């Protein structure tokens, strides 16, 4: 017959559950903050709302994030800028053509970011960044600049291999970014940017845009001017 369990033994599962709950709180807070920032915008979101949605007190929120600005920055890192290490590693390991890389880049962006709530952060910055210059600069530093540089690397890879014609990559990257920006606006602006007769298939749209970037609209794509 086994010995009776002590009170400490009985409390271990409860204590472990509390400890797991404490460890999970930063992630839960970031998830709640992402939801509210995308739903309401930065200015309209209150810290106590984030805490309430995450099921903690406002004081607990400030233990992890001392201000709403720091919370927003953490949301940016968690959902956007923290991905660039992985994406640059994929660039280094990619063995296909540069055209395939560009197609992959646009498709995987939609799967991992564009189709998720995180894409609403870009719309938020476009609408509110002018009112919060410090946050706008943080977003430029953490998301815009590394994102642009990754696209430059893709285009330079194609130019260096002879697959792509020599172009001004600093301007050409916006030909890739433009359809991505359109999809973010379409997703988070209640379809206002399309007419009510159009059904947008994001994956098909990006596939068409990738081919347009790569080959243009000319029926004689290989003809010399």
Are 55 and 129 found together in one domain?
no
Residue 207 lies in a domain: yes
Q: Is the pTM of this model over 0.95?
A: no
pLDDT digits (tens, 9 = 90+) for 107-166: 999 999 999 999 999 999 999 999 999 999 999 999 999 999 999 999 999 999 999 999
pLDDT at 23 over 60: no
Residue 12 lies in a domain: yes
> Would you call 101 exposed, middle or buried from its count of C-beta atoms within 10 A (0-12, 13-18, 19+)?
buried
Are 117 and 192 found together in one domain?
yes
Using the structure block, give the residue that is written with the tokens 């920055």. 73
Are 142 and 40 found together in one domain?
no
Residue 223 lies in a domain: no
Residue 60 lies in a domain: yes
pLDDT at 44: 97
Between 12 and 157, name the one with better pLDDT.
Answer: 157
Output the domain CATH number for residue 37: 1.10.10.60
pLDDT at 221: 55
Are 111 and 199 found together in one domain?
yes
Residue 72 lies in a domain: no
Distance CA 186, CA 16 (A): 44
């Amino acid at each position: 017959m086994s010995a009776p369990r002590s009170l400490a033994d009985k409390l271990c599962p409860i204590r472990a559950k509390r400890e797991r709950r404490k460890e999970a709180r930063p992630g839960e807070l970031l998830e709640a903050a992402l939801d509210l920032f995308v739903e309401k915008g930065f200015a309209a979101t209150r810290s106590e709302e984030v805490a309430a949605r995450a099921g903690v007190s406002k004081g607990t929120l400030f233990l992890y994030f001392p201000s709403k600005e720091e919370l927003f920055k953490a949301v940016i890192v968690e959902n956007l800028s923290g991905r660039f290490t992985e994406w640059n590693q994929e660039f280094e390991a990619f063995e296909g053509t540069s055209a395939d890389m560009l197609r992959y880049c646009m498709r995987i962006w939609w799967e991992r970011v564009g189709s998720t709530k995180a894409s609403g952060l870009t719309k938020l910055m476009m609408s509110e960044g002018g009112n919060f210059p410090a946050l706008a600069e943080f977003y430029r530093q953490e998301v815009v600049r590394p994102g642009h540089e990754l696209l430059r690397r893709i285009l330079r890879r194609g130019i260096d291999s002879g697959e792509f014609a020599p172009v001004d990559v600093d301007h050409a990257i916006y030909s890739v970014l433009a359809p991505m920006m359109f999809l973010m606006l379409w997703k988070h602006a209640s379809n206002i940017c399309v007419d009510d007769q159009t059904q947008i298939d994001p994956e098909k749209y990006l596939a068409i845009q990738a081919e347009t970037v790569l080959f243009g609209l000319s029926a004689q794509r290989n003809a010399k001017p």
